Amino acid sequence: MGRSSLFKNYIGTDFNTQHWLSLDPCGLICVSFSYSLHIFSLFASGFTLISNHLVAQLLYGILYVPFSTLSLWSLYKASTTNPGAVPMGARPLPSNISSENSSIQTERDYNNGGLRRRRGIRRCRKCNDNYKPSRAHHDSVTGRCIVKMDHYCPWVGNAVGIMNHKVSQTRRSRVCLCMLGELFCYLWGWFVATDCYSLQ
């Protein structure tokens, strides 16, 4: 989809936007599904599946609700945090200029049909010849060069880079803790329910 913005550059991934949000339709659908799945499991398990068991509800309130709330917050932060996009007009730091000038880069030479080696500062053709730092990659979904880009995650709806990698990793661990807490509450409620029915 590339760079885009809404509401006069208020949200989006363009160079001049105030708040970061990837407007990729597939990513927005997947993020909406992630939010709805979290919220549905939060309310469905609490109000229907373990509603008759006091101990299971206490464990649910102590274990599952905090981790689920933190997981929702991490999902929000991971999807709305700038992943480390290179701003327009960026320049290398003075200490990095000498190392980047001495680095040899290989390009395709379309005139001669081979490879050509050149020295100099890396530029991204897709970002209007903007400076491209080392270990930066162009993300075709957001349309920006991302420093230390890991991948584009559709479930977060954002690229994972240097600025939101920690948030993305903590989101994964919190989702795992949510699943374990909910499984524990379900098993507790099931064991209590089977013991109650076997006594009658």
Pair 11, 5: CB distance under 8 Å:
yes
Say which residues have a Cβ less than 8 Å from residue 180's Cβ, sequence separation at least 6. Answer: none
pLDDT of residue 114: 58
Q: How is residue 139 written in tokens?
A: 């993300």
Pair 122, 104: CB distance under 8 Å:
no
Q: Provide the residue-wise pLDDT of the chain in tens; the chain has 200 residues.
A: 566 667 777 777 777 777 888 888 888 898 899 888 888 888 877 777 676 777 777 877 887 888 888 889 988 998 888 888 888 877 777 665 555 555 555 566 566 655 555 556 777 777 777 788 888 888 888 888 888 888 888 888 888 998 888 888 888 888 888 788 777 777 766 676 666 555 45
pLDDT digits (tens, 9 = 90+) for 158-188: 889 988 888 888 888 888 887 887 777 777 6
> Distance between CA atoms of 49 and 51, rounded to whole angstroms?
6
Q: Which helix (H) or strand (E) holds 191?
A: helix 165-199
Active site residues: 153
Q: What is the DSSP letter of 132?
A: -
pLDDT of residue 187: 76
> Distance between CA atoms of 116 and 108, rounded to whole angstroms?
6
> Distance between CA atoms of 156 and 30, rounded to whole angstroms?
7
